[in-house]
Each structure stands twice: as C-alpha cells, then as structure tokens.
Amino acid sequence: MSSPTTGLHSPVPLSARLPVGELAARSVAAAGAALAGTPNSLPDPQRIAAAYRSDRHLLIDGEQPDVWSPLSGFWRTADGWVRTHANYPHHAVALRAGLSLDTHASSDDLRALLAATSTPHAVAAVRARGGLCVPVRREDPATDTALRQHPIVAIERLGNAPKRALPRSNASRPLDGVRVLDLTRVIAGPVATRTLAFAGADVLRIDAPTRPEFAWQHLDTGHGKRTALVDIASESELVESLLHDADVVVLGYRPEGLRRFGLSPQLLGERHPHLVVAQLTAWPGADSPRGFDSLVQAESGIAWCESPDGETPGALPAQALDHSAGYLLAAGIADALRRRASDGGTWFVSTSLRRVAAELLGLPRRPESAHDESAQPPTNPETQSFTVGGHDVITVVPAVTWPGAPTRYASPREWGADTASW
C-alpha cells in the first residue's frame, strides 16, 4: 500500500493501540490521488477522523440513530469468546434459529446460553442457519504476512476490449459522465460508490425490494447517488440493460449469490467486456462467506490487540476496515478506468476487509496508550445539512480531496425513490 500522505500536518486523531489513523490517512489520500490522477492529495486529519466515525455524527430529525442490535456484540463462551452480528432482521432470525432461542430472547438470554456453549459449537450452529458468528482469535502474524504478499487492491485485466475514454473529465469532477451500477450494501461498498459520486460519476444503486436498508445507513453513505428497487432474480433483462450502458459495476454481495444470478466478475466480463468490475468481500477468495467489519476485527486478532484489559476483546474506534476498503476500492476503480482509456481491456478490481486488516496489523505500532487524549477524534466536526424524504439530515463533510475538488457532498436521495434507468 502506497503512502501518498505527504503534507498531512498532524496525525489522524483516532485513538487505538493499532495505527488506525495511519491506515485511514493512507486510504483517503490514495482515493484523492487516484481520482485526480496526481499525488497532490492533502486530506485534513480532522475530517478523516470524523468521516470514519460518520455514523456517530449523523443526525436524523435531531436524533442520533441507534446502529447496533442488542444481539450483536462480543459474548463469552464456555471456552473463549465469539462475536455476533444481527443488525439486519434476517440475520437476527438466523442467529436465534441456530441457537434455538425464541423470538423474544433478550441479550441476557443470549449471554447465558453462550456462556454454557463451546465456541466451535456456537459458530457452527449459527452458520448452519445462515447467521453471523465468528470466534474471537488471537493475531496470527504468519497469516497476515502471507496476505500482504498480495496487493491491498488487486487490479487485473480480465480480457480484451477497445479503449474507452473518460467521458468528460475535469479537475472538479474527474469522473463526470462515468456510469456506475452499485450493487453493494453496508459501509464499505457504499463508501466506495459515494466517493465515485463525489468525483462526478452517475451512480445508480439498486436494492432488492424485500430487503429494506436502514435509513441511517443509507443517509450516512448515500450522498450523490440515485437509488432504485429491482428484483435481480425476476428482472434480469433490466439488469443486463443497465450493465450494457454502465462503465463500472461494484459488487458487494456474497460471491455465491453473484454466481447464482450470473453476476460473477468472470461472467460479467464475458458479457460486457467494456466494464470495470469491482468486487468487495469480507474475506479473500471466490468463496468468501458473509462478513462485516466487526466480525473481521474479531477473527483477525484486532479485537485482542484493542483489548482494554487483556481479558476482554475490544474494537477499533471506528469501522475502519469498512471505510478504508471503500476508499481504496474507489482508488482502484479510478485507476482501472484510466487503464481502460489508455490500453483498452476489461478490468477487475478487488479487495477484502481481511486484506485491509492484514495491512493494519503490519503497520508500525506506536507506543502511545489508546487513551491518549490528544488522539481523540473531533466531537464537533464540520457538517452539512439536507432534507431527505421530509426528514432533516445532518452528516459530516467529505474527507477525500484533490486540487479543485468540491468541499461538500450532494444530497442523499430517499431510498428506493428513483427509476432503474440511466
């Protein structure tokens, strides 16, 4: 991972035992440099810290949303610890089913059950029902070293295709006219496509009508994008039409699901050789299971590195794997678009949260305490206001920048309010 951060006047104030501020600075700077096509990217450390903790500064009608389910978190087992993720209703249903908890089970019920259950049994039982539960593991330097032998963002040529110039590039909007089909959810993918929209791309996000997105999550990362509801299983012709006229497709769903719907990178490259195909997964490889930032922190050893007492797992001060992966993926997409313009070809851009975790675990660690007050993120960051669907929304301003870049995001749209067309 390159380090285009020369010019930062102070460290990014994100307090942690691991150098998460350095990871954040490098990731945001990489996005700015790639979008502008120049290394002269000088992001502001305060803005980076606020952007990485944007959910904690988000206000909807003056209220800060509650972003965690009571069934999500660290739980002590009979022989260790697990971390669960049950924010989405279908994941909560799967978690309860795997552990034979009734629909009214509380966090106390879950705690008591897991305390009498072994870690392997709990993980296997939840996963068997499609739920999300991982063991909290210690750091494995050999695994991280092996992961770092691969690029943090891989850019590969999938096949041949004619050159295609960037439509209308300019300093303020270097991706003006580029069409991006967004098939992502949760933080990392939406951060990537929000960054592309900020650079002028026409981003259309499509979601299944049966899986509503949390309002807070969409409003926090939906800036500048249009949003439509499409059942990709029954409306495959519409999806193919959108892909035919797109420049980029960004994939954030499980590889297994993408293959089932004919949307794997290889199949997309064969049918639409003009595309830049970008894919984000939780773990590396074509068979990555479901996963989220918090789960990768637990599985990779980050949770123990951030333990407050050596006995209880901890967490980074932000969903830093998600945000970093999003900015880095946006950087890779911008790079691939320029390669397509100069060399032609079909391009595949990919990264994973686990690969980003390996990068963090390999950065030089500072001796400062995680409770160093000078490293605390801003409590009153610069914000901007919108009215979306009749609601007053306040979000932080962009962290990514380049010479001539705008200083504000365009407004998010109401989720699902647009038509699925370019």
Domains of the chain: 20-65+151-289+315-396 (3.40.50.10540)
Q: What are phi and psi of 384, to 5 degrees?
A: -140, 155
Q: What is the DSSP string of 101-149?
A: --TT--HHHHHHHHHTS-HHHHHHHHHHTT--EEE-----HHHHHHHTT
Look over the chain and give the mean of its residue pLDDT values, rounded to a whole number.
92
> What is the biggest distance separating any 2 CA atoms in the chain, rounded to whole angstroms?
61
What span, in angstroms and rounded, lies between the C-alpha atoms of 179 and 293?
28
Structure tokens at 156: 């590969």
pLDDT digits (tens, 9 = 90+) for 212-267: 888 899 999 999 999 999 999 899 999 999 999 999 999 998 778 788 888 999 99
pLDDT for the residue numbered 35: 95
What span, in angstroms and rounded, lies between the C-alpha atoms of 158 and 268?
10
> When comparing pLDDT for 377 and 305, which is higher?
305
pLDDT for the residue numbered 339: 97
Structure tokens at 273: 């050789």
What span, in angstroms and rounded, lies between the C-alpha atoms of 139 and 69?
27
> When comparing pLDDT for 115 and 43, which is higher?
115
Dihedral, CA of residue 24, residue 27, residue 31 and residue 34, to nearest 10: 150
pLDDT for the residue numbered 371: 47
User: Average pLDDT for residues 358-384, to the nearest whole number?
Assistant: 77
Distances (CA, A) of 335 to 72, 152, 253, 267, 343: 37, 14, 23, 22, 12
pLDDT for the residue numbered 3: 45
pLDDT digits (tens, 9 = 90+) for 96-116: 999 999 998 999 999 999 999
pLDDT for the residue numbered 5: 44
What span, in angstroms and rounded, lies between the C-alpha atoms of 77 and 268?
43
